[in-house]
Structure formats: C-alpha cells, structure tokens
Amino acid sequence: MSRIAGRTHLFVPGPTNVPDRVLRAMVVPQEDHRSPKFPELTLSVLNDLKKVFKTTEGTIVTFPASGTGMWEAALTNTLSPGDKVLVSAFGQFSFLWADMAKRLGFEVECVECEWGTGVPYDKYEEILRADKEHKIKAVLACQNETATGVSSDIAKVRKAMDNASHPALLMVDTVSSLVSIDFQMDAWGVDCAVSGSQKGFMLPAGMGILGLSPKAIKAIDSSRSPRCYFDLADMLKNNASGYFPYTPSIPMLHGMREALDTIFEEGLDEIFARHDYLANGVRAAVQEGWKLSLCAKEPQWYSNTVSAILVPEGFDAAKVISTAYKTYNLSLGAGLSKVAGKVFRIGHLGDLNCLSLMSAIAGAEMAMLDNGINVTPGSGVAAASTYWRTHAPKVK
C-alpha cells in the first residue's frame, strides 16, 4: 500500500502527541552529564515535578525506563522477599502489576474484579481490617486502568486504609492519569507514585518517573530485595547534587523541562478541566451518537484520558482498528486480553483539543461503517459537536 499523505492521527492512550516546542527542545547537542553546569537542568526538573505530583514532602526520581520499570523500583526498594501486598485486578495493567509482584517473590493477595469496574474500596477496607498482624506491607492501586477506560478514586483508597488503621505503604499507578486527572500525593497519603513520560507529560516514551514519600524512603533501609539498576539509594544520593548514578537521557531531560513549562503555562486545574470537557464530548459521540456502550460499567468509573468502546456482538474490534489505520491513517487503541476484539480505544489525553479529537471520532466512525457496524454516518461527530458547543471546561 502506498503512503497516505498528511499527518498520522495518533489516538492511542499513549504514547501521545508531542508538542512541536517540546520536540524542538529535545534537539540538543550532547553534553557532559558530569559538568558543573548540568545540575541546573536536573534540579529544576526534579523540583518542578513535585508540583505536578502535588507534594512538598515527597521526592521525585526519574530513570531511563518506562512506567513498568517504576513498578519494579517501587516494589523492590521498599519491600522484602515474601512480604505480602494487596492489589486488585480489573484490567490488563492492574493485572500485570499484580503479576510482577508475584514474579518478584512477594506474596500477593489479589482481588479479582469485573473488567469495567475499578478499585474495590470496601473490599480493601474489609481485608485490611482483618489483617490484625499487619502482614500486608503495601496496598497497590491503579488510578487509571488504560485497558478498560476506568478511573478509581485514590482518596477513597486512602480512606479505606485509614478506617482500618493500617500502616501499609500506598502505591499508586498514575501512568495514564498524571497531568490529565487530578492527583494529590500528599493529601492522599501516597507513598510510591508510579508514572511515565509518554502520556500526560506529552513526551516520547523512555523516562520512568517515581514519587516517594518520606515513609517510602525510610522503608528503603529495611528492604532486602535485590536490585541494582533500580536501586533508589544510589539514585537519591546522586540526585541530591544534581547528578545521576549512570548516564541519563539528556534529550529527555531537556524535553521534560520544556513540557513542564508548557504544563505550568496552561495550569494544572485548567488541564484537568480540559480533559474532562474533551472526554465528555467523546462519551457523547459513543453513547448518544453511535448508541454504543463503554467498557466502563458506570459513570463513577469513566476515565477522562481514554474511552474503551464496545463494538456490537458479532463484530471484531480488531478489524475496525486495522481499517482505521490502513485506510484513514488513524491509530486507535486495541483491546487487550479479556477485551481483545471486543473494544477499540480512543485516547484523549495530552496535547489535543476539540478539533483534533473530531478526527478520531470521524475516523473511528468511518472504520466502523466500513466493517458493517450500523451507526448513523455523522452521528458521533454531531453528538460531540453539540456537547462541546453547549458546554465549557469547568475549572475547579
């Protein structure tokens, strides 16, 4: 097939589109990462990342890695082999974090939940209340489950832990939520906050980001889990003076500096409001226009960064995704594991607005029609348009 002219329309839930100004900031000559000047860049990035995590007490570290690497760093630096963790699985990424914990040698109590729901707050509280000996050392929660388009309320997870008077560490996956959905590390008592560069930060993949509370940092001293590359003690020691224990990705650090400037210019609250506004338009297209359903079971679970859309019974969502890519140069997210072939996903996070999202809605609609799915031509675009024209972003 010949090349399709024009820009590729990227609407997977990560990697997301990178603003031109951020791309330009990354085109830099290589430099000496041991020079006396280099700490200016390192410390400005690490200090400003604290504003994004909404922490004054915590410490932020970055690794040349992905969010998955930060899952491992959080677990192996604060826990010891055989320690028990509580986790819930309600999508591919929450499942994979639980699977990693098992493979690293921790005892895992996993609450299996229906895909399309989120963290089971009441069940967490029940389990934690019953753990009188405090054998559970960490509670894991995924703020935004990318596979199913589900968001969970981390404040409710903290409330469940507090109601049970349980001292476990709280670890949260914020990979597809940070800088898009409100996250409050200090207020919610989060000890390890895992993230990555390729979603809300509007950067290429390749930088893992981890927020650590003082409690988590203290736990490093008693952890007996083997680690080397992800040893936080080495990273914290070097970061204190603005350096790294090994060569960092210099272009990524320059890109993060520019991305943070972009974020602060718009304002975090404004960004959260924009994502809510855009997500509501997509949901209008799905539910009111196409008369289809979301994978997320109820409004309380709806994600403002990604919508997983169920195709009608008897149709293959993978063919919709393939048609969108091959015919219209549109990348949609695939269904994973239990929902493979049942859903396609529209990522609506990062550097985007109403008109850019219109291309995803229109392209998905055409791809569904090409595969025989009976949606009314133009209905999704019309429903989204009606919502966006009659509403405005609500800044809290």
Same domain for 291 and 230: no
Same domain for 142 and 283: no
Same domain for 362 and 222: no
Same domain for 287 and 353: yes
Cβ–Cβ < 8 Å for 101, 85: yes
CATH number at residue 304: 3.90.1150.10
CB burial class (10 A; 0-12, 13-18, 19+) of residue 340?
middle
- Note if the pTM is more than 0.75: yes
Same domain for 222 and 77: yes
Domain count, the chain: 2
Phi, psi of 210 (to 5 degrees): -135, 125
Residue labelled with tokens 């031109």: 20
**Where among 265, 281, 298 does a domain terminate?**
265
Same domain for 370 and 345: yes
Q: Residue 280: inside a domain, yes or no? A: yes
Q: Residue 350: inside a domain, yes or no? A: yes
Q: Residue 8: inside a domain, yes or no? A: no
Same domain for 291 and 236: no
Taking Cα atoms as reference points, which of 212, 225, 81, 88 lies closest to residue 143? Answer: 88
Same domain for 219 and 129: yes
- Residue 97: domain span: 20-265
Cβ–Cβ < 8 Å for 196, 67: yes
C-alpha–C-alpha distance, residues 109 and 111, integer Å = 7
Same domain for 199 and 311: no
The CA angle 273-276-280, to the nearest 5 degrees, is 140
CB burial class (10 A; 0-12, 13-18, 19+) of residue 32?
exposed
C-alpha 358, offset from chain centre: 23
CATH number at residue 92: 3.40.640.10
Taking the CA atoms of the chain, what radius of gyration do you get in angstroms? 21
Same domain for 330 and 206: no
Q: Residue 385: inside a domain, yes or no? A: yes
Question: Which residues have CB under 8 Å from 16's CB, separation 6+?
Answer: 10, 198, 199, 200, 202, 347, 349, 350, 351, 352
Same domain for 124 and 258: yes
**Where among 265, 280, 303 does a domain terminate?**
265
C-alpha–C-alpha distance, residues 340 and 115, integer Å = 12
Phi, psi of 332 (to 5 degrees): -110, 155
Q: Residue 6: inside a domain, yes or no? A: no
Q: Could you read off the pLDDT tens digit of each residue along the chain, which spans 396 residues?
A: 566 788 889 999 999 999 999 999 999 999 999 999 999 999 999 999 999 999 999 999 999 999 999 999 999 999 999 999 999 999 999 999 999 999 999 999 999 999 999 999 999 999 999 999 999 999 999 999 999 999 999 999 999 999 999 999 999 999 999 999 999 999 999 999 999 999 999 999 999 999 999 999 999 999 999 999 999 999 999 999 999 999 999 999 999 999 999 999 999 999 999 999 999 999 999 999 999 999 999 999 999 999 999 999 999 999 999 999 999 999 999 999 999 999 999 999 999 999 999 999 999 999 999 999 999 999 999 999 999 999 999 998
Same domain for 303 and 163: no
